[in-house]
Amino acid sequence: MGLARIVTDLQVAADMIPGAKPTPIPGMSDDVSEVIGYALWLLILAGVGGAAFGVYKLAVVDKSRNGGGSEPFKWMGGGVAAIILSSSLIAILNNIAA
């Protein structure tokens, strides 16, 4: 893999991530509002990563009787919970700001 290929892959990945321009919250400093907005977007990305890791673990889990088959569902559930939590917080903050 050449350096040009890595740069191209990073540009494609950056184009797929939605722009996180947070809505300013009245009465809050612009810097604090921006940091909270980016933190919520990072929480969404972490949730997606957790859910994807759960799907991966489900694909490679030991299928025997003592394989611990509930662990992938814990990862997927945690990822989905993070996505729902951050999405609802974004909606609440946007309603406050509007």
The string of pLDDT tens digits covering residues 16-51 is: 666 656 666 667 777 777 787 788 888 888 889 999
Task: Determine what percent of the chain is predicted with pLDDT higher than 70.
Answer: 69
Does the predicted model carry a pTM greater than 0.75? no
Count the neighbouring beta carbons within 10 Å of the beta carbon of residue 9.
11
Task: Measure Cα distances from 75 to 8, 19, 39, 51, 70 in Å.
Answer: 31, 26, 20, 6, 9
Report d(CA 47, CA 83) in Å as an integer: 5
